[in-house]
Structure 1
Amino acid sequence: MKKKRTIHGPGGLWAKLFLVMRLAIFLFFAFVFGAQAKSFSQSSKLTLDLTKTRLIDVLNEIEEQSDYYFYFNLDLNNYQVEQVNVKDKEIRDVLSTVLTDLGLDYEVVDRYIVIKKTGDLTGRNESSKAGQQKGITGKVSDSTGAPLPGATVVVKGTTQGTITDADGNYLLPNVPSDAVLLFSFVGMKTQEVAVAGQTSINVRLVEDAIGIEEVVAVGYGTMKKSDLTGSVSQVEGDDLKNVAVRTAADALQGRSAGVMVTSTSGSPGSMGAVRIRGVGTVNNNDPLFVVDGLPQSNIGWLNPNDIQSIEILKDASATSIYGARAANGVIMVTTKKGSSGKEYKSKVEFDMYIGFQNPEKRYNMLNAEEFMEFKNRAYTATGQALLDDFSTPEKREQILQFLEKNTGSREGTDWWKEIMHKNAPMQSYNVALSGGLEKLSYHSSLGYMSQDGIVKASDYERISWRNTLNADLAKWFKMSANVGIIYEDRRNVSESNPYNGTIFSAMTADPITPVYRNNLVDVPAFLESKLMTGYEPSNPFSQYAGVLYSNKPNPVAQVELMGENVWEGISVKSGLTGDLNLFPWLKFRSNFGLDLHRGLSKGFTPKYYLDGDQNATDATVGRRYYSTNYWVWDNTLTFDKTFDLHRVLVMVGTSAEENKYEETGASKQGTINNDEDQRIINAASKNPGADGYDVTSSMNSYFGRLFYTYRDRYLFTFNIRRDGSSNFAEGNRWGVFPSFSLGWVFSEEEFMKKYDFLNMGKLRFGAGEIGNHNIGSGAYLSTYGNSDYYTFGNPRMPYLSGGRNSVGNPNIQWETTRQFDVGLDLGFLNNKLTLTADYFVKTTDDMLVQVPLPSSYGYPNTPWTNAGSIENKGFEFELGFRESIRDFNFSIDANLFTFKNKVISLGGGEPINGSTHLGNMTHTRTEVGEPIGYFYGWKTDGIFQTQAEIDAYANSEGELIQPTAQPGDLKFQDINGVDEDGNIVAGPDGALNDADRVMVGNPFPDFTYGFTLAADYKGFDVSLFFQGSVGNDILNILKYDIRSGAGWYNAPNDMLDIAWNGPGTSNEQFAISANSRQNLQMSDWYVEDGSYIRLKNVQLGYTIPQSVLKALNNHSIRVWVGGQNLFTVTDYSGLDPEIGSSDPKFMGIDQGFYPQARIFMMGINASF
């Protein structure tokens, strides 16, 4: 049909807006052109020849042959027409013939035809003689406060009624004072309101799950949710208004079973790691993001206010249409569009919030006096001489007096407080204009968001402008275009590794060092040279003091230095789509997408000297430029026709894409000074450097889909895609990825009709293959380049030589993921209660890995190969409940996800070790039979309390198992042994060695969950969103440094109390000692339970009554207050239990990353 008329799906804002506009036009013409209806209806001639088809298809055909539009406030999907065979007949005769036998009637107003049940009314008002008569006025709106044109208002038990006008207003004269009014609208729950003497009654209708047909986006099209045979979850854009998320990825956390979103950093503008149904490879596990048909690597740039809906495609039957890029799942984002209508009408929306942020948790470290005691205790334990500065009470007192005079406190410097931005502000403003005419619609939005980080000198700013335009150029041709421009600006502090991260430095720097060294007074003589060496009063970067006793950079100086480095980028993302209706059942679509990105990193390191570790002899200026040009062109041909009780949809298509990435960098040293005007490369004088590279990759694809349904009860879907990728060599570039799925709506079977408590029941089954080619371009090629200089000849002269830069493998091919899925969808209590459950098995074969090679091979890199298999299997559960009791509405949504990850095979069978830190030992391992990246080390059995316990821990020959241990040390377990062939065997062998290193923790949770509680009552609304995980472990690497007991760095302020200090004093924290002995080896002592539950979001809102807004001509104004990350319940001792990583081999490792903030917010949502 020309336009979609029915509303199917809660929160279907685009459908509601569409119907609002169309009904507004109808009502306008009903008043203006009502007298012309009859004469106009006789002027059109129709020719139809249809047999055993749906009424909706007949109306489609009438619209195609005429200038008429149909409206209906009822579901017509179940009305069947046996036969229509007319030639050159007037529309009045055709409609009478078709509708009479179906118990339907119609009214014609100019070009608009209202379909209704026979005897229903649209505007008649009949008097009731019971009770005193009076007129009732009011307004009907939806759950958001937007008006509902065309809603029905009826006096219960009579035929007296009316419909609301374009603004949702109604007038019902002569209503008995004891009457009851019924308010109804398609897709909404009917409400009854007693008149009880009132003369004005305003009603807000809420979505009703009964009979609703949600439409969801799938690959290269849309489908009714009831027709889905794959596993697809949906997040509505309207839901995001109650969470005020900063990035689109935040909207996914805890909202859907099977989707894990974990924070990789709390730094402003950062995007969490998104994982769908576990981790299927040791490489990139990011899903494919598709925004309005344009594939993306992430959606951190997308303004959440522009989102209409998010669909998460999880199993192979849903994702295989995207082939090689869909192994990790697909997240499809549909942005907001405008709505069309006969006369021009627009809508303006304004959304804003402001807020402030603080750390949710902090470490309380030792003060100056405690730190000196801690340091002395560590040296005393090993018999070493005390550090001279702390060796006497007099010196220690001098230090405390020095701190009191220069910092105002004897406790010294609180570095955490110094780097933190108290009440860091954030703000967001968005305005959108949408509307249209009969054959034209538009939506334009402008958004601004800025966020200062809780760590100083970290911030993020985003400006986004997005526009969409849809035009019906002819009955057979439509076009749509969208373009978005995004500007981003970001400053981040250092958090790349545990040795130079700003958070780490703030926790480890000693409290005796002052922040600044300018204007110091009464500096003790033994500190003078340490503090003042290299100080230049004219250099502002020289004002910071070098850290005295922790061998770490001054955290405040580090923040300021990193603040000189800025990244900024601008992106243009656009799409152009043409739809050609060849026949009512055959459509061709062509879509071209373009993504252009330009980025610039500006770096500056000033000339300065703080100490031997924190200095630069020359100022350095650097610039790095990034450029991405990506285009994709998709073409599809879709056949969709219903034959009696059968529906067949066949879609075939092609896709071509290319991505060109360029990066160029330059740097130079030796500016005259550190002034702003010197921070350009031309101002520097020496040591120029430059580098750069460019990479181009491309893909060609052919794909298709077959969908068949019988009686809307038996469903079958088949997808296939053939991809050719330039990432592989000739002969290995093409891969084929098929899938199929079946659905059975058993609730429609006759034998189920007697179970009236079950309203919806569908069983799903699917299986298929999908691919992965994310290894970068050219991995199959060996490259050569300039190498070192060699000297030859007499006299000897240097000659530039050549050599391999990298070794490729021309035999690498697709990584293939096979999935099996069984799902169940249930609806009870008129679909107020819904349940979805899925079981899946996901196996990745021919995994692309870089298997380590012996250094004797002389390879400059580790080449890629297909060697490995990983399995993920688990369950997903989603539960929803909605209820309305008069003016009180509430809902509960919950989800739970549990899975197991296991490595089935690896190339050569050798484990893949992660990086080292703890005692220079590997702390993660990927090994056959275990999960990816499990924590690998020794198990402990408490702390040795006495020498007698150490002596008793011996083998059968009397040899001590831990001969170097001392009382207060960790006791490591002897678990395994080694046979004569060097193989590890179970059982102790009386010695500690690598055979005793085992799995001591698993970063994957037993299950993750999320649940939302929401309610509203007479304009007030509240929502609470909780999210968490159970059973995951965290490797707290920070404990290696801040709880080492060695005195290298500062320590938590409970260290002196909980550390072992004699027999029976502690079995929790080993002894403080400058000799770390074996305590700092990788063991389960560093592994903690990371389970948590977090109040992720809470919001309390109030929608101002329409009676107040009438004078302002506003549709809706809602004010709200809320918060995010307000509290977290966990046993984890670190700053934040939500620890993510983009690398699956390093999940769950806390290296002192930037924590998430607690946020308090207030905002406004308005439309007019």
Structure 2
Amino acid sequence: MFILVGILQISAITYAQEHRISVSVENGTFYDVVSQIEKQSEFMFFYKSEEIDNNQRINLNVTNKLVSEILNEITKNNNLAYKITGKHIIITRVVSENQVSKRIKGCIKDSSGEPIVGANVVEKGTTNGAITDIDGNFSIEVATGAVLQISYIGYNTQDIRITDKTSYNVVLKEDAEVLDEVVVVGYGTMRKRDLTGAVSQLKGDEIADLPLRSASDALQGKAAGVTITSTSGTPGAMGTVRIRGVGTINDNDPLYVVDGLPQSGIGWLNPRDIESMEVLKDASAQAIYGARAANGVILITTKKGATGASYKSTIDFDMMVGVQNAAKTYDMLDAEGFIKYKNMAYEASNKPLLDDFATPEKIESILSFLEKNGGRAGTNWWNEIKNTNALSQNYNLSLSGGMDKLRYRSSFAYMKQDGIIKSTDYERLSGRLNLDSEVYKWLNVSLNTNVIYETRRTTDENNAYTSTVFSALTSDPITPAYRNNLVDIPDFLNDRIMGGYEPTNPFSQYTGILYSNKPNPLAQTERKGQNRWKGLTLKNNLSADIKLFPFLSFKSSLGLDLTRTSDEGFSPKYYLSGTDQVADAKVERGIGQRDFWVFENYFSYNDKFGDHAVSAMAGTSAEKERYETVKASKEGFVNNDYSQQIINAGTKNPGASGSVSYHTMNSYFGRVFYSYADRYMITANVRWDGSSNFADNHRWGVFPSVSGGWNFREESFIKETIGDWFSQGKLRAAWGEIGNQNISSGAYLTQYGNSGYYLLGNAMEPWLSGGRKTVGNPDLKWETTRQLDFGLDLAFFNSALKFNIDYFDRKTEDMLVRVPMPAAIGLPDTPWSNAGSVSNRGFEFVIDYHGQVGKDFSYNIAGNLSTYKNKVLSLGGGTNIPGKTHLGNQVNTMIEPGKPIGYFYGYKMDGVFQTQEEIDNYRGGPNNTVIMPTAEPGDLKFVDLNGDGKLGEEDRTMIGNPHPDFTFGLTLGGEYKGFDLSMFFQGSVGNDILNILKYDIYSGTGWYNAPKDIFDKFWTGPGSTNENFAISANSRDNLTMSEWYIENGSYVRLKNITLGYTFPKQWTQKLTVQNLRLFVAAQNLFTITGYSGLDPELGNSNPAFMGIDMGWYPQARSFMVGLSLKL
């Protein structure tokens, strides 16, 4: 080995001494010479790009020269030195003998003459640097001829070459991009300094390095006033998005507008295509979208080709691959623990033990059977259904560039996410093309086209009866997962385990659950895995922008959104148990077709007269949507081979159904903006919408808004008093009305349909009859939201530090509710009425700071906090609206005037009865009667609120609130010499969770399996606990809806942490690579919470059932690696 190394070293030295090349460079640069040497030899150069003066011109023409001779020629006048080590050439900067180090002093100010505090002054190409003091002064010792690089956040970086002078006064120019940052608003853009409404902006570069799988993930915790909660960990699932609270008991989803095309969701959108996201939060910003804006508007602009990149194309490729696992699981009882638990429950209630567990001999035979068939602990159902290290993949490729009059960007993306539960996955393939062309100086044409193909497999969730997660937690551990290879089955279990087994039926290999009515969760995932949803979507927007005059333009756009979906379902024939069986195989096919178009035209006016700036916009919009579904099914197939099934092969029970719906809207809209001297601004919007969702007499609605702003930072008395360290100060106020038209298009109509077969007169055959199915209300109109907003925007140190605060008062009136009518009227249901009202009030706080230490380390801290108080003001005189979810069909949520929407409803709890004496002494009412006479020691003690001496409906009250006191997000980031680290924390404080899982897994009755800690948590005698009741098969009142189910849902989660490294450009440029970054990341790394369930982050699209845990598909903890490459 030593001999080999020596030979290689000698070979390298010989190569350097003997290899000759020719170089010809005319008016070139140092890099041009280096490039020719590398092309003609095996040498590789290493240097710091900042040490090379690439502005110095070189003329060199040599033939058949040694490399060392060429290097001597190009370094002698450049203060450079070289060292040849083997086939590596290292270039360094040196100070020649005639270059003397000297101390330089100076002062750095901005364009108004104010000193800049904390500016970085660095000798270029070195680590030698200084920072300006409070007066903007600096002092630094540098070599004569050195270059000082001066930088500060919000200003353009400036280079100063040192000459014979010893004192320098430098004026930094403000970065125009910071001063005139543009924000997208409805039908146009505005300078951020001119905004008078509440708008949150998220730029594409802020999410570019995040390992996002869904576009909605980008907003979570990033925008104040926007609450995003995960409705499911199912692959491809979108979160629930709420802006400034819950404004109605109906649809609360915001409107999305992607490149001018209205959308109901953005789960299809590739996050890498996003240029910016703007959230319109107050009525003044939203009113331009009128009847669809009551729940907020999210504007999304996708990336386009670079302006001015003449004939140059850029290729971007990034990829991310990772694995996912459940972040948390329950530690459930094993077989022996389950038998102990079951027997304890029966013994405590004086019931005879189950025959299977009645004797030690039977118990031992069960445990021995389990030991021979996988292990004495029995079946861990979570381990059976989980998909360990589920793979997640994401690949993105884009090509962008521009010519003299054409910009283009095309992208292709592929995403595949396997679920952490078996047989669940999501796959998306998408392609996008954005073109912008200046056809004439007065005409620009743009085309945005996006094609998306999606497939999805899901499992049952959020249902206490069929949820796969629920089944896995409640199924007993004695039941084997499979039954096709079992040995030594005890005789008393044989029929129950093997009954109905068909060796040739793959769906018959699973075992029916022995000690509950739940389906086998593993078989459930296999059966659900036969079903797949597919979708193909084309989204297209073509627009033309015509410049009529320098101050007036006209824009016309046509948007198309065409979607085709299919649902393929198959239910195989099988028998596992009396409650887990299907008598006949069934094939289902469903198709959906949605066709939507929108045609918009508007004029835009912009002009300035001295200190007066005026802009206006007016236009029209027309749109139409058609949605059709067709579904067919059939039963009676000869086998369970899904791949061979076609619906025609079924022999019985054919079924078919379908629906068609239409929606049209015609609109007129306008906006006027006026500004004086960039100090005083006023904006007015109006939209007049006509919607087919309402009858003729209420079809049209007008939605106005007005807002104003005062840039008090621009006042002379502020400038003269405070100085330029105070970068921005603006007060905002806004008022407006907006609408919500998201109801069924036929709600105002009375509908008729089939109502069964009846014998009429003397007829022997029944006649099909018709009847009233729904009762319409021709006076239905929009839900109207009035909103008042006050805001303050501050910025300091040239916008390095920003602070925003908003207060909002949002009131929804004419809310759609069903006001009960007397049964004697004989109506089939209650019609909708505009009778309710809801209010939301709250604050939003945002802080953002970008700083730098020296020349190499920069950092940023961004945080936001939002609050809202939700209250139902009226239900139109109707009764309260109860909600039922599991819990033995008990009412557990309520909508009531004076209270928040969907509050938790039940008994208040006053601990646990410790003794019989305590029960006997718990009395009340006029006759001093025992309030809970059937209770026993170890039972929950409920509060008799009305003091009548008994528990009844009047004692049920608000016991929990699913709405948080506040939500927050915190981003911490830093960069140092190519390394970048970012951490994103997100959380919620003050919200309650109704943990319905406790009804089964912590019931104490032995009905289902339970967590191992049940023996430690539950009451075992006086003084043992005052929180949980005693284990008993007789639950008495213990499982009645009460505070026992309510838990604090507050949490803090490290949502994402990413560590990346960007390779130096002097390395990547040798590979013709502009940028190369590698990163590792983790999602949902840890959560700090007191909640006992799987995940405290619970969303629900139905506001009546917020914060209820019924066995959600849990979120995954993910670990990923990836790279980003730019060519």
TM-score, structure 2 as length reference: 0.86
| Structure 2 partner of 1:802 | 770
Q: Work out the CA distance in 2 between the residues paired with 1:286 and 1:548.
A: 43
Partner residue of 1:811? 779
- Please tell me the residue identity of whatever aligns with 1:941: D
**C-alpha separation between the residues in 2 aligned to 1:856 and 1:156?**
96
Q: CA RMSD in A?
A: 2.5
**Does 1:959 find its partner at 2:929?**
yes
Alignment of 1:489 with 2:455, yes or no, is yes
Counterpart of 2:906 in structure 1 is 937
What is the deviation of 1:497? 1.2
Equivalent residue, structure 2, for 1:312: 279
AA at the equivalent of 1:974:
D
Partner Cα separation in structure 2 for residue 382 and residue 192 of structure 1: 86
Counterpart of 1:884 (choices 831, 852, 873) is: 852
Encode CA deviations 1:108-165: one digit per residue, 9 max, x unaligned.
xxxxxxxxxxxxxx98999xxxxx973689xxxxxxxxxxxxxxxxx9999xxxxxxx
| Equivalence for 1:1109 | 1068
One-letter amino acid of the counterpart of residue 741, structure 2 = H
User: Would the aligned equivalents of 1:156 and 1:181 in 2 still touch at CA under 8 Å?
Assistant: no
Residue 558 of structure 1 aligns with which residue?
524
Match of residue 600 from structure 1: 566
Counterparts of 2:393 and 2:939 in 1: how far apart (Å)? Answer: 51
Q: Does 1:975 align with 2:945?
A: yes
State the 1:793 CA deviation. 3.0
> Do the aligned partners of residues 559 and 854 (structure 1) sit closer, same or farther apart at CA in structure 2, a change above 3 Å counting?
farther
* Matched residue, 1:281: 248
1:1093–1:1128: 8 Å Cα contact kept in structure 2? yes
Q: Distance in 2 between matches of 1:684 and 1:1012?
A: 57
The alignment status of 1:233 with 2:177, answered yes or no, reads no
Mapping of residues 640-1039 of structure 1, within 5 Å? 640-753=606-719, 754-756=721-723, 757-853=725-821, 855-885=823-853, 886-955=855-924, 957-976=927-946, 988-1039=947-998
Aligned in 2, Cα 1:1019/1:177: closer, same or farther, shift over 3 Å? farther
- Counterpart of 2:1112 in structure 1 is 1153
Q: Alpha-carbon deviation of 1:242?
A: 2.6
- Whether 1:1041 aligns to 2:985 is no
Worse overlay, 918-927 or 446-455? 918-927
Counterpart contact for 2:154–2:800, Cα < 8 Å: no
- The equivalent residue for 2:393 is 427
CA–CA distance in structure 2, aligned partners of residues 678 and 1113 of structure 1: 52
**2:310 is the alignment partner of 1:347:** no
Counterpart code for 1:741: S
> 1:284-299 alignment to 2 at 5 Å?
284-299=251-266
Contact in 1 for aligned 2:442/2:547 (Cα 8 Å): yes
Post-superposition Cα deviations, 1:391-440, rounded to whole Å, max 9, x if no partner, equal: 00000000001001011x11100001110111111010000000121100
Q: Counterpart of 1:80?
A: none
In 1, Cα distance between equivalents of 2:546 and 2:1022: 84
**Partner letter of residue 1021 of structure 1?**
D
CA contact (8 A) 2:813 2:836 kept: yes
Partners in 2 of 1:419 and 1:1074 — Cα distance? 29
Residue equivalent to 2:353: 386
SS at match of 2:1121: strand
What displacement does 1:914 show? Answer: 1.1
Q: Distance in 2 between matches of 1:341 and 1:314?
A: 34
Name the SS of the counterpart of 1:610 in structure 2.
Answer: strand
- Does the 8 A contact of 2:928 with 2:949 survive in 1? no
- Letter of the 1:367 partner, please give it: D
Give distance in 2, aligned partners of 1:1163 and 1:857.
66
Residue by residue over 1:850-876, the C-alpha shift from the partner in whole angstroms, topping out at 9 and shown as x without a partner, is 334455544333321101110000000
**One-letter amino acid of the structure 2 residue matched with residue 261 of structure 1:** I
State how far apart, in whole Å, the 1-side matches of 2:685 and 2:772 are. Answer: 43
Matched, 1:134 2:63: no
Q: Would the aligned equivalents of 1:653 and 1:704 in 2 still touch at CA under 8 Å?
A: yes
CA distance 1:246–1:1101, change in 2 (3 Å): same
Residues 460 and 491 in structure 1, CA contact (< 8 A), matched pair in contact too: yes
Aligned partners of 1:233 and 1:795: how far apart in 2?
Answer: 70
The amino acid across from 2:740 in the alignment is: N
Deviation at 1:187, TM superposition (A): 5.9
After TM superposition, give the deviation of residue 211 of structure 1 in Å: 4.6
Name the residue aligned to 2:224.
257
Paired letter, 1:619: A
| Identity level (%) | 58
Determine the C-alpha separation between the residues in 1 that align with 2:208 and 2:186. 26
Q: Is 1:325 matched with 2:284? A: no
Q: Is the Cα–Cα contact under 8 Å of residues 210 and 830 in structure 1 kept in the other structure?
A: no
**Higher mean C-alpha displacement, 854-863 vs 798-807:** 854-863
Matched-pair contact (CA < 8 Å) for 1:209–1:830: no
Please, which of 510, 532, 552 is the counterpart of residue 544 of structure 1? 510
> Which secondary structure state, in structure 2, belongs to the residue aligned with residue 371 of structure 1?
helix
Cα displacement (A) at 1:342? 7.3
After TM superposition, give the deviation of residue 192 of structure 1 in Å.
Answer: 6.8
Which residue, out of 469, 474, 477, partners 1:511? 477
Change (3 A) 1:459 1:191: farther
Q: Which residue of 2 aligns with 1:1071?
A: 1030
- Are the structure 2 counterparts of residues 854 and 1061 from structure 1 closer, same or farther at C-alpha, using a change threshold of 3 Å? farther
Contact 1:133 1:176 in 2 (8 A): no
Structure 1's unaligned 5+ residue stretches are 1-29, 32-121, 127-131, 138-154, 159-169, 197-204, 977-987
Query: CA, structure 1 residues 733+217, in 2 after alignment: closer, same or farther (shift >3 Å)?
Result: same
| Structure 1 residue corresponding to 2:1081, chosen from 1122, 1132, 1139 | 1122
| Residue in 2 that maps onto 1:1081 | 1040
- Give 1:1062 shift: 1.8
Query: Matches of 2:560 and 2:150 in 1, distance apart?
Result: 47
2:604 to 633, 638, 645: 638
* Equivalent residue runs for 1:357-372 within 5 Å: 357-372=324-339
SS of match in other structure, 1:268: coil
SS of 1:951's equivalent in the other structure is helix
Partners of 1:808 and 1:817 lie apart in 2 by 23
Q: Are the equivalent residues in 1 in contact too, given 2:153–2:798 (CA < 8 A)?
A: no
Secondary structure of 2:483's aligned partner: coil
Q: TM-score, normalised by structure 1?
A: 0.83
1:225-277 CA distances to partner (integer Å, 9 max, x unpaired)? 11100000011111212321110001010001100000100100000000000
- Alpha carbons 2:785, 2:813 under 8 Å: kept: yes
Of 590, 593, 596 in structure 1, the residue corresponding to residue 556 of structure 2 is 590
- Counterpart-to-counterpart distance in 2, 1:833 and 1:186: 10
Q: Tell me the secondary structure at the aligned position of residue 322 of structure 1.
A: helix
- Give secondary structure in 2 for the equivalent of 1:576: strand
Q: Distance in 1 between matches of 2:565 and 2:296?
A: 28
Closer, same or farther: CA 250–195 of 1 in aligned 2, 3 Å: farther
- Matched to 1:968, the amino acid is G
Question: What residue in structure 1 maps to residue 182 of structure 2?
Answer: 215
Report the secondary structure of 1:1159's partner residue.
Answer: strand
| Whole-angstrom CA distance in 2 between matches of 1:206 and 1:696 | 56
Contact kept? 2:819, 2:878, Cα under 8 Å? no
Whole-Å separation in 1 of the counterparts to 2:491 and 2:524:
27
Letter of the structure 2 residue corresponding to residue 905 of structure 1: S
2:8 matched residue in structure 1: none
Number of matched residues?
Answer: 997
